[in-house]
Structure 1
Amino acid sequence: MDKTVVVAVENRSPHPKYGKIVVNTKRYKAHDEENRCQEGDRVRIQETRPLSRTKRWQVTDILNSASI
């Protein structure tokens, strides 16, 4: 996918009854105009108009780069 990255957002919350931390992951397809993102980068995304059938987000900035 050219100019597209898949961003995984993890939400950690305790289970209502047992108290164990449960990790819920949601994946968003985001627009990356310059193809700057690499696998493992931490990014900030922002909602935008629909860019394709599944793309409704864009990458605003890269917080931490993955050192591979």
Structure 2
Amino acid sequence: MSLLTRKLLSFNQVRLGVNALHSNAALVDNCTEVANKNPRNLELLRIARKPTGFQLERISRKYWH
């Protein structure tokens, strides 16, 4: 490995914080409650139902796309 390559690798490790990377598995295991701050996101992920609106409105589609 050339000197330039070694310098670039060490620079990238410092810049990206490669030495400080760690897994967040412990945080995920300890998570007991999730607060949804973006309800539209659940609709885009197709987890939440699409709102149907009022019954007197025009007939609309029941799917997003």
TM-score normalized by structure 2? 0.16
Task: Identify which of structures 1 and 2 has the higher relative contact order when contacts are C-alpha pairs closer than 8 Å and 6+ apart.
Answer: 1
When you count helix as a share of all residues, which structure comes out higher?
2
